[in-house]
Amino acid sequence: MSAPVLSISRRTRETPFTRRVTEAGVRGYTVYNHMLLPTVFESVEADYHHLKRHVQVWDVACERQIEIRGPDAARLMQMLTPRDLRGMNPGQCYYVPIVDETGGMLNDPVALKFTDEKFYISIADSDLLFWAKGLAYGFRLDVDVNEPDVAPLAVQGPKAEELMVRVFGEGVRNIRFFRFALLSFQGREMPVARSGYSKQGGFEIYVTGSDIGEAIWDALIVAGADLNVRAGCPNLIERIEGRLLSYGNDMTRENTPHECGLGRFCDTQTAIGCVGRDALLRVASEGPVRQIRSFAIAGDPVPACTRPWPIYAGGDRVGQISSATWSPDFETNVAIGMIRMTHWKDGTTVEVEAPDGTRSAQVREASFI
């Protein structure tokens, strides 16, 4: 039976780039923040090889922005995350785990600081806007919380800097990793960050105003013709190899940041004001009992991982795989999952119950990079 098609409606919002994505021959989508996110163009494997060698333009408008503006903006930001934001400077991007009052993950976005009174939060797949608005209202904070007309466009791959310089000028080279600068396109200023959901390097343009989306897309495609630029998208294989986590796939509200290996982004002792602080203090000092690891799963290419696959060791259930796929470069199945501390040591052999049978797997502390 052929794969089900996606029924598209206004609710699964188009982006400022959807027409260009369609013209480029998109073959698959997912829905992310109620918006279309391309998943495949030529094939997931062909897209993967191209991404590692050349440069791609990605419609990641689904990384919706929450704009937090006003005198209490910094206070609200700190309420959201156990990462201590006092050292964050204008022009910085921070990866910020967002937790509820129980310490459960609600989102894992990147925050951009413009001033003490203005931030963007570039969100993963959940309506974080509702949580931020609820807190702002409940605590009567002096802030405006909204979703502005800003649509991220990513430029990823080893030739990304060269391409970006051609369209946004030499200033691109001075942008350090996880920093952003305000650069101009056709006279309009917009944040450009050195960041993105791949390990191949690149940038994210926070396209400000839907009306200019196709013009920027076209400028990148034209300027990069000799760089072999083409439309792409976050690549399943590359992101699992690099252990780039996906909210909703690899972690949910059930998990603390520490379980997700994000303890290094938590300063629970000093993040005074974070609503999840009390709940996280103990796990922050003692560590979690299960944690995310990479896995190499033996055998032929695995089927699509559409639900968690249990991990067993000696008959006991010790974890679950949440993302998995065949890696052409590593010539094994690569996976992300969560496993109990009794079995999370590098090299431990476990059994994975995949839909097509039980397979042997090896725990890896490092990702496949």
Residue numbers at the binding site for its own copies (CB under 8 A): 1-12, 14, 22, 25-31, 34, 39-40, 100-101, 106, 125-128, 130-135, 137-139, 236, 246-249, 275, 304-308, 322-323
Burial class (CB in 10 A: 0-12, 13-18, 19+), 83: buried
Nearer to its own copies among residue 26 and residue 205 (C-beta): 26
Nearer to its own copies among residue 107 and residue 348 (C-beta): 107
| Sign of the Cα pseudo-torsion (176, 177, 179, 181, in order) | positive
Residue 222 beta carbon to its own copies: minimum distance, rounded to whole angstroms? 23
Nearer to its own copies among residue 5 and residue 366 (C-beta): 5
CB count within 10 Å of CB 27 equals 13
- The answer to whether residues 208 and 193 touch, using CB atoms and an 8 Å cutoff, is no
Nearer to its own copies among residue 128 and residue 164 (C-beta): 128
- The answer to whether residues 45 and 237 touch, using CB atoms and an 8 Å cutoff, is yes
What is the 3 state secondary structure string of 15-41? Answer: CCCHHHHHHCCCCEEEEECCEEEEEEC
Nearer to its own copies among residue 194 and residue 293 (C-beta): 293
Residue 238 beta carbon to its own copies: minimum distance, rounded to whole angstroms? 15
C-alpha distance from residue 142 to each of 41, 67, 83, 113 (Å) = 45, 14, 22, 17
Provide DSSP, 250-315. TB-TT--TTTTT-GGG--TTT-TT-TTHHHHHHHHHH--SEEEEEEEE-SSPPPP--SPEEEEETT
Residue 249 beta carbon to its own copies: minimum distance, rounded to whole angstroms? 5
Nearer to its own copies among residue 250 and residue 351 (C-beta): 250
Nearer to its own copies among residue 99 and residue 164 (C-beta): 99
Nearer to its own copies among residue 176 and residue 317 (C-beta): 317
Provide DSSP, 53-92. HS-EEEE-TTS-EEEEESTTHHHHHHHH-SS--TT--TTB
Nearer to its own copies among residue 216 and residue 324 (C-beta): 324
> What is the Cα Rg of the chain in Å?
21
| Buried residues in 332-369 as b, exposed as e (16+ CB within 10 A) | bbbbbbbbbeebbeeebebbbbbeeeebebbbbeebbe
Residue 345 beta carbon to its own copies: minimum distance, rounded to whole angstroms? 25
Residue 221 beta carbon to its own copies: minimum distance, rounded to whole angstroms? 19
Cβ neighbours of residue 51 closer than 8 Å, sequence gap 6 or more: 156, 157, 198, 200, 232, 235, 238
